[in-house]
Amino acid sequence: MPKVTYISPNEVQTVVDVPVGMTLMHGALLNNVPGLLAECGGAMLCATCHIYLDLDTANSIAMPSDLEREKLAKVNQRKSTSRLSCQIKMTEDLDGITVQLPESQVWA
């Protein structure tokens, strides 16, 4: 099963199995990864599942939709590699990826 490493703002690494087809958000929630709120449960109504991807991963997956870009525009600590983890489904190609969690999941 593909693995994802979630890194907290204080550099604590949590490595979990995330089944193919499951979102990175659900993988984190099911494995009790701290720091990911996911208040809307993946309905893309908020941005409390905000993550940072590494540049190579960000460039290798589909670009965010207009709605995801709209939500990301409202997050604090946004970077060029910011994504909503509810919008990224795990694939075999993503096995071994690392995602960084922001210091907070604040959105406007």
- pLDDT of 44 higher than 80: yes
The pLDDT of residue 104 is 86
Over residues 69-81, mean pLDDT:
92
pLDDT digits (tens, 9 = 90+) for 49-59: 999 999 999 99
- pLDDT of 108 higher than 80: no
pLDDT digits (tens, 9 = 90+) for 17-35: 999 999 999 999 999 999 8
Q: What distance in Å separates the CA atoms of residue 91 and residue 21, rounded to the nearest whole number?
A: 6
Q: What distance in Å separates the CA atoms of residue 60 and residue 7, rounded to the nearest whole number?
A: 20
Tokens of 7: 């890194």
The closest of 41, 25, 39 to 84, measured between CA atoms, is 25
The pTM of this model reads: 0.93
